[in-house]
Each structure stands twice: as structure tokens, then as C-alpha cells.
Amino acid sequence: SPRQPRASIVRSRRRPRGCLGEDTCRRPPVGAMKEMFQDMYYQLKEMRPRTLAHQVLNLCMIVCSALMIWKSLMVLTESESPVVVVLSGSMEPAFHRGDILFLHMGYAPFRAGDIVVFKVADRDIPIVHRVIKVHEKPTGVVDILTKGDNNSVDDRGLYAAGQSWINKEHIIGRAKGYLPYIGMVTIIMNDYPLLKYCLVGLMGLFVLTSKE
């Protein structure tokens, strides 16, 4: 009797982790980043001097545009710092760490309940707290006392030595709006300066190697 053919055996091949199909697989993230930087390096290396100068001008224009927008906001808001980031929880629950505040000074008199951002001597970082007392003197000088909503005492301990009040010249602006938690990016970059420099450098490389 003729020999029966053996049943063909088909072995299933396991698809490598991260593959999209039989012949297409995702590259590891580290490898993709390395290849991206290599591409940027070779693009800069092979770029003609005239093209490189054009890209550098584009980068300068972006920086100048950002500065012009910031200066315009300073004029419109009458504040030296139109946007600030909340760095502590002293104003919770009104504002949380990482919230971005939009400031406007204006000419209206200060009143208890206003949320202001102010600077005091020997402190580089401005403070955002609420006005709790206002004393208007006959001479026109206005004394202001502030306190954090989440603090148990007023801010006299934060003012300069021998200072019990702040005045209008100490105030940067009044909080008029906010975006929650968006400023955490700024806080992280300030806590890790190396990360900030890497991100700025990476953005510069993207602009220099962009083809548009």
C-alpha cells in the first residue's frame, strides 16, 4: 500500500514584543532617540553655511518674538511680571503649587480680599498672598498687610526686618486668572537645571535642523 504523506507541521512564531506586524516592529525608544540625534548631527554637518546662517536667523527671530510678546504683556497688564507660578501651598485651597497666575496691576485702590503678588527685601522669589488689612494715610501712602489663606498667621514674619506693612511699590500685580498645575513644568525645570538646559538645547536643534 502507498505510504501516507505526513501531516505538515506548522510552528507558530511568537511576534517580538513591540511589533506591529510580521515585518514591522517598533524601534526601542532609546534607539529611536539616538537615531534622531544622529540625524540632527549629520544635517548640521552637511548644511551649507548660507543655510545654517538662515536657520540661526530663524532661531533669533523666535527668541526676539517671545521677548516682544512678554514686553507687550508687561505694558498691557501694567505689571513687571504678567505671569507667575505658585511655588507653595500657602494659598490653598484657592491656588495650588504649580498653578499659573495672570496678573494685572490697574489703578483701583487695594482692598481686603485682593490676591496680590509682591516682593520683599532679601527675597528673590515673589510671594502670592491675600490682602487682609489696608490702612490709607492722609499723605496718600497705603499700608497693606497680607496673609496666606493656608497660613495661621499674617506675613509680618516674611517682611524685611522692622517692616510691618508693605506698600504699592512692593506689589507686582493682582491675580486676575489662573491655569491649574500648568506651571509644574517650570518648577521641575528649576529643580533640575540640567533638564532645563537639555530641553532648551533640544528646541534649538529642532529649529536649526527644520526644513521649513
Active site residue 88: no
- Out of 155, 170, 191, 210, the active site residue is 155
Residue 93, preceding peptide bond in cis (omega within 30° of 0): yes
Active site residue 152: no
d(CA 212, CA 208): 10
Secondary structure (3-state) at 166: strand
CA-to-CA dists, residue 188 to 167, 182, 204, angstroms: 32, 11, 20
Active site residue 170: no
C-alpha cell read off for 48: 551649507
d(CA 69, CA 52): 26
The position carrying cell 490653598 is: 92
- Out of 79, 99, 129, 170, the active site residue is 129
C-alpha cell read off for 67: 521677548
d(CA 129, CA 156): 12
DSSP conformation class of 133 = E
Number of H helices, E strands in the chain: 4, 6
d(CA 151, CA 130): 11
- Out of 90, 122, 124, 149, the active site residue is 90
Secondary structure (3-state) at 77: helix
Active-site annotation, residues: 90, 129, 155
